[in-house]
Amino acid sequence: MSYASVGMSSCTKDCKYDVFLSFRGEDTCKTFVSHLYDALHRKGIHVFKDDERLETGKSISDELLKAIEQSRIAIVIFSKSYASSTWCLKELAHIIKCRNELDQNVIPIFYDVSPSDVRLQNPPFAEAFSQHGEEFKDDAEKIKNWKDAFVIAGKIAGHDLKSYKDEADCIKKLIDDIFHKSLQGILHFPENLVGMKSQIEEVISLLDLESNDVCFIGIWGMGGIGKTEIASFLHQRLRHQFEADCFLGDVGTLYQKNGLTWLEQVVISKLLREKMTLTSKHEGMDIIKSMLHRKKVLFILDNVNHQEQLECLVGRAEWFGSGSRVILTARDKHLLISHIGDNVYEVQLLPENEALELFSRHAFREKSPKKGFMELSRQVVEYAGGLPLALKVLGSSFYKRDKEQWRDKIDRLKKIPHNDILGKLRISFDGLDKEEKRMFLDIACLYNHESRDYVERVFKSCGIHLIGIDYLVEKTLLSFDRYPRILMHNMITKMGENVAREEYANNRIWLPEEVRDLFAGKMKVEKVESMRTSEYQYFKDEVFKKMQSLQVLKIDKKYGLVNHSTITYLPSSLRWIDWENYRSSSLPENFEPLDLVGLSLVAGSLVKLWPISKKLSNLKYLDLSDNLGLTKTPNFGDIPNLETLILKWCKYLEEVHPSLGHCRMLTILHLKGCGKLKQLPKFVSMESLETLNLGECTSLEKFPKICGDMQSLSKLYVGSPWIRSLPLSLCGLSYLNLKDCIDLECIPNTIQNLESLWISGCNTIATLPNSLFESKKLEKLVIAHCSRLAELPISLGAHKKLLRLDLLGCENLKKLPNSIQMESLVDLHILNCPKLDTFSEINGDMYSLSELSLQSTRITELPSSIGNLSALKLLSLVGCEHLASLPKSLCNLNNLQWLHLRGCNILENLPENIGDLQELEELDARETAISQLPLSTTKLGKLNTLKFSHKHSSSFVLHQVSGLSSLTRLHLSNCNILGGLPEDLGSLHSLEYLVVKGNNISCLPKSIKKLLCLKYLNVQFCKSLNELPRELPPNLELLYADYRLALKSIRDLLINCFKLNLILTSWCGHEKSRCGTISTNQVNVLKCVQHFLRACIQCHFHQRTYFCISFPEGRIPESFGYQFINQSRISINLNPSWYTDKFMGFSICCYSNGWKAGVEATLICISDPERKHSLKCDIDHHRLNSLAPSVIFFYIPFKTWWLASDNKLGKSPLDYCLFEVCTMSRRKAYWGVRLEYENKVRRWRRKHLAMQSSKLFEVPQKDNAMMTEIGFSVRRYCGAITQTSKPPGARSYATSNRSVPKEDLLREGLQLELMPKHVAIIPDGNRRWTKERGLSPEKGHEAGKKVLGDLCRYCSKWGVKVLSAYVFSTENWSRPKPAEVTFLMMSYFERLIEEFMRFGMKMSIIGDRSNLPNSLKEMLKLPVDSGNHKGQHRASFCGST
């Protein structure tokens, strides 16, 4: 993809702005211009707009003329009064001049005039020019220039508003024109990205932005080479193309500092706009992949340095929606390749010419060196080695230096090794003065990534002038993010740390090992000025006593560290103490805080500040938040200069000293969450207070009395259910937040300057004062859960500046203003107001409104004026159960993209002309009564999501869908579709998700195989659907189907759908046994697994990394030999010879009472205790999430796993002898694990056929139906799977001698009266069983004969008359050890004879006995000849000798 497609290319001149807007302020500023500016800004176009437009003077400013010259495009908005402004005329004349001389692109907009009016100066322009002629009669040339400019502008092809439906339509077309035509190749390209343009173009080609697939790319290179700059630029230029975006910078540092869970919370906040607290990294993974898989996102992680960051934050492609792009930057190329493959771009060093330009921009603030400095500049560039960071830093250090200083610095550069980048960066540090060096080193060692406000407070406490911070920014040694936090490049940070250690040893302590050495007496302590650590368990009083220079002490909380020692001494030289989790009840009594400026003891055990009163004359900042032992505050009379007091979440604080009301210097008072606080002292002299937070002070009985002037108070938070009124003197408030003030009756009408008002849970407030809206300053109004609020003031409907209005959960709200004309309103959300039955008429211009939600209201219809909301993008009517119809004017909403009608139960029709909504992308009409789509629906060329379902059994007609070319999701559940799905379904070439569950369809259209993009298909609960097509879409990844369909189609699915890796089955009432009870689900699970494994042999299954089948009920089949109960992680010691050339893979069955995420399987090498060479397989399918009990079958083909792993380092499979499995959510589950071998799978097939045949004895037909079922039930009770050395937590299947009660049989779905008369078995696998466990063959035969004996016993109890066992064949004679054959024949029959005699069973032998040993022949005569038969049971043993 080229630069043009994202709006980037080279330009012949440097331009500061992309677009300059020229307009007459009083005509268009508040409407058209503001909307145009907002649209341009959202597209990432850099716009100059003179917001003031005072035009009080006659002369236009030089800055404005310069802005015109520095703009690539000038947009001139001609309105009727444009020519009456000499200011506008001067702008226009200069714009035309720039067009002629600088090739500036000019786009005229004819707002309420025609192009000919401008070209010919027709009225009203004629009158304006006539007046100017009188005023400037002595300067005819000026008037002529203005008229000529009008003539030229009138001839330029532009946009005439009259030819568009409305302003919004004009703006849209204008933006499209600008962005895709005029601005192609001329969008603002930052000067700091010199030399990066071609590299960015290559990265964009890797992104393949035209593709709808999810794409991961890596950007790799050394530190300082420009990875972050490239990624940041791409973020800014591409973000508008995605539903959500996130740029997370310096991930490695944030990971080390805050941990992975914190990073996940940040990602969720940025991409999902939700703040949540996570308890584990696995919870974060689950949320990210489950909530983003349908979103098209741009996700950039900068400077990753650990595999765990990639696994937990970006995972795999299926985590994200179609078209998503994930960009990763790192210094470790292998890290990127191991996660995303070869799609990695290596950032190149700059060539000489571009390196020289970048250096010059910082050394001279020009594109090239000044005269006489070319050769010197080339020498510096050579030593910088083309590294952008070094070029910037060195360039800034040479700025405004003379040649002598240049030569001196270059001589020093020559002494630094060529590859010593840090040494080169050191040059910039040497150019700082003493105070700037101190600030730089403090930030590098102690305060990187801290907020600017915090760092400035610390510096001020130490007497450092803050102007140095801006100077460091100018020198490119640090920068700020948007919060703003200080950001210092990690290479510059490393350089600073090296300097601090080498030349300022012991001044700053921040490394854990240094802290340990310091308090162990191995370092000099006298010079220590600043210390930051979390290793406070090493602190000793005697060391602190020697630190007489210590000014800053910052202790970070260390989780899991418990330190019971008490600090009894702190140096009196301290100016700033920030100690999180301070464990003492007070500060040391002998600490004299004469110089202390800032004190923060958050989340500690503080009971009181000091044991005795202390004078704190210099203290300005005090934060004692979250100290649960604090019950009363100190005397603030001892703190006369206090500016900030934070006591939030001191839950047991009961008493505030009266002196608080006399803190004249206090600007911030934060008491949120002080739940025991009942009263505050009088505010007597608090004229400086700006912010007062009383949120969640649930015991506060009344608002503090204000005695003096508090005009500075601008922000107020109140959260007490006892406060009944607010003071009238709060007239200066701009922000007011009232939460759960249950008894508050009203808001004072003296509050007239609010910009934001948030009211929640104030159940006594019945109305709002008109004064709130008369000031015209209010921009945000949120009212939630105010149960008495019945109506809103009429004046609200005409408010001109309101941007956001939310009415949530106001259960008695019945009426809105009859009409609304809020021209600035952007978002209007009315949710869960069940008595609101009418929506306001739309009057006048509301061109800004983009979102309108009227969810769960009693509205029966929408006004026809709804069609006037020309900028509306989202209309949500979810849960409007009384809405009967939609107005035809709805189809005038030309910009509508999302229409949500879910739960509008009685809505029967959509407007016939719905096809006019050309921008519509999503239509959700689930749970409605709509019976068919209007014919015009096929005109919705941009529709990508269409959803319908019925709550009741009404029918639905779907004629054709061929016109919906952009459709990616089609949801038609429980619709009772008449005539089935249309045959033109195959024309939906973009379709990815198809849901038709619960319908009466009997077949899927043949054309479904043409849906090459289809990934998701749901046909569950379609009772008339008897089979799936042999040819399903080849790229299908996920199938929801009933068990019978999945079982029948498993082979075709595996062979034809190469990407299919998950089948979720459902029981649909078809799996009933003829006994009238539900058959054992284990039989169904096992049967499906056997079908699946046989199909794996017949297809190229190794192309998949895993496969899952989900069953909604059931138990783990007994054939899974390793079984575990209630474990989140299991371990299995594999047999030393577990791997053979017939080994297929690992089967895992997992049963959980509610399923979440997936499993993590690991093969571990016994000689690798650190698990560096472990093979890991993560099956983290988010669609497996379920609250209901379910059994999940996972299959991991070993060949795929082995070939995909790149850390084996010459090892063979048999070097791995430990297999571990765990749930990703750490949820406990029941497990079954089995190793699959091709020859074993084939034997299963033979057994299955043998068990369903009756060659030995004739069996009544009614018994055959239970043959398989009784077989598996016998195995359950008799212990056919016996474990002699089971791993911890495994279930034991050792044989029990207890009788099996009838209720046990019933619990297994067995009934005595329906038991078969004859059961035939083939005992097999004794040798394999022993081989897997490293035992002798005799041990296996011992276990086998025990099982045979148990079978006889249970058959006797269950009423089975005949038991036939095929126990010996001619191939047994070929056993390698003759003794084994003798043991086999003698031991089996010896045990069996004993069992038969005990239970009175008659034994018969079928087969040739002639080759048997004589001793065995004699033994076999005994049971046959015995006459002591107590019962009617018979055992037959078959053999071919």
Yes or no: say if 654 and 629 are a contact pair by the CB < 8 Å rule: no
Round to whole Å and give the CA distance between 904 and 930: 10
Round to whole Å and give the CA distance between 97 and 69: 9
User: In whole angstroms, how far apart are CA 1062 and each of 1185, 1231, 1252, 1302?
Assistant: 13, 19, 31, 39
Helix/strand/coil (H/E/C) assignment for every residue in 749-782: CCCCCCCEEEEECCCCCCCCCCHHHHCCCCCEEE
Round to whole Å and give the CA distance between 1288 and 1130: 8
Helix/strand/coil (H/E/C) assignment for every residue in 801-834: CCCEEEEECCCCCCECCCEECCCCCCEEEEECCC
**What sign for the dihedral angle of Cα 714, 717, 720, 725?**
positive
Q: CB count, 10 Å around CB of 1418?
A: 10
Yes or no: say if 281 and 267 are a contact pair by the CB < 8 Å rule: no
The verdict on whether 696 is a catalytic residue reads: no
Structure tokens at 675: 């739940």
**For the purposes of burial, counting CB atoms within 10 Å of the CB of 1053, is it exposed (0-12), middle (13-18) or buried (19 or more)?**
buried
What is the number of alpha carbons within 13 Å of residue 1381 lying toward its C-beta?
A: 15
Rounded to 5°, the CA angle 340-341-347 comes to 85
Rounded to 5°, the CA angle 1163-1168-1171 comes to 55
Yes or no: say if 1295 and 1345 are a contact pair by the CB < 8 Å rule: no
3-state secondary structure of 727: coil
Structure tokens at 1274: 């016998």
Q: How are the residues of the chain apportioned to helix, strand and coil, as percentages rounded to the nearest 5? A: 35, 20, 45
Yes or no: say if 111 and 79 are a contact pair by the CB < 8 Å rule: yes
Residue with structure tokens 């008897």? 1026
Contacts of 177 (CB under 8 A, 6+ apart): 107, 159
Q: CB count, 10 Å around CB of 425?
A: 28
Torsion of CA 557, 562, 564, 568, to 10 degrees: -20
Structure tokens at 329: 């930057």
The radius of gyration of the chain's CA atoms, rounded to the nearest angstrom, is 40
Round to whole Å and give the CA distance between 443 and 221: 25
Structure tokens at 556: 């970070």
Structure tokens at 416: 């630094």
Closest to 1246 measured CA to CA, from 1420, 1345, 1426, 1366: 1366
Tell whether omega for the bond before 124 is within 30 degrees of 0, i.e. cis.
Answer: yes
User: In whole angstroms, how far apart are CA 889 and each of 12, 817, 892?
Assistant: 49, 21, 5
Max CA-CA distance within the chain? 144
DSSP element (H, E) containing 956:
strand 956-957
DSSP element (H, E) containing 261:
helix 260-272
Q: Which residue in 69, 91, 311, 1395 is the catalytic one?
A: 91
Closest to 255 measured CA to CA, from 414, 77, 449: 449
Structure tokens at 40: 């341009």
Round to whole Å and give the CA distance between 805 and 820: 12
Round to whole Å and give the CA distance between 756 and 734: 7
Structure tokens at 1026: 């008897």
Active site positions, annotated: 91
